[in-house]
Amino acid sequence: MRSILAVAIVAVVAASTSSASAFSAFAPPSSYRPSSASFARRTASRWNSKDTGLRMSDEAEEDEEGGRRDGWYPGQNLINVDKEIIAFDELYMGSSKDLVLFLPNLKLGRDCNQADAVLKHCIRTGRNFLSLDYYARGDSSGDIMDATLSRWVEDSITMLVNAARHVDHGRATRKAVLVGHATGSWVAVLVALRRPDLVRGIVGIGADPDFTEDLVWKSLSDEDKDTIMTDGYKEIKWGKLKETYMITSNLIEDGRSNLILRGGKESLEIDCPVRLIHDLNDAEVSCDTSLRLAECLKSEDVVVSVPKGALTGVPDAIDQCFEATA
């Protein structure tokens, strides 16, 4: 059956509210974010992969049959081949073959309201969930001067390949639905371009692909541009909210090698379902960016929603991606 391209513009004036849910044994980050010291492992379980050089620390408890217990395992570390740590949280659901990977924005990292909302939906629907901090962000290690889109994409692929190994592949041997928040949406698209076998679908929340060039660089004075390229970095206040960001020359130059909105209609070889949700009142990134991204995608199963004042519809978007690839 031929898929139908649907670019729907939906204006929703009132923000939606949701009642609290019972999470049984699972504690989402908003109600449980212990200090680093309290992440000490209750077991010394570790595994090694001879072919990748990776090892993952794991505080999972065993059930009566010696298997891993379903539950919420925050504060885990994947130690990459270059000895850098990728910090991540995991909701493990051993009987589920569905996986959601949350990719955060540039500012907040994995400890944010958007990640909490996605986690709670995974708890309700019984799906596996992963969220990570990018290289040199949040609890992950690394030098901020070397933090780039390319590095974040590679770390996201590393996470998909090496975590949640119990998850079988879905349609066309694909593994996870990626939920990207702002910059995370750019990362999600790049992951899908490089490893389509890992991506069942994409949900973009306030997507800002090409922001380094189209939004940040264009807004800078010549003096600020010279400082970034001469000194290697500068803290700038950007956007209508005047948030402070560390902008490095590496981030700008690497961003130019990863621009995805320049090729025009259906220029991006992505054929999985994509749902883009963008607040009409977004103070930093225009909803036109999500519309441009939709036009560039080759997939015919694309829906753009533009609620007004609240980012509603993320749970439904996740469900639709799984249903389309069942």
Structure-block tokens of residue 148: 């780039």
Low-confidence ranges of the chain (pLDDT < 50): 1-59, 171-172
Tell if the pTM clears 0.85, that is, is over it.
no
14, 13, 6, 9: which is closest to 305 by C-alpha?
A: 9
At 166, phi and psi to the nearest 5?
Answer: -75, -10
Structure-block tokens of residue 281: 């009142």
What is the rounded CA–CA span in Å between residue 89 and residue 46? 16
CA distances from 21 to 126, 169, 215 (A): 14, 29, 39
In this prediction, residue 170 carries a pLDDT of: 52
Q: In the chain, what are the helix, strand and coil shares in percent, each to the nearest 5?
A: 30, 20, 50
Helices (H) and strands (E) in the chain, counts: 9, 12
Which H/E stretch holds residue 316? helix 314-324
Q: Say if CB 104 and CB 87 are below 8 A apart.
A: no
Report CA torsion sign: 252, 147, 100, 189: positive
What is the rounded CA–CA span in Å between residue 264 and residue 266? 6
The DSSP-derived string for 263-274 is: S-TT-B---S-E
In this prediction, residue 27 carries a pLDDT of: 35
In this prediction, residue 3 carries a pLDDT of: 37
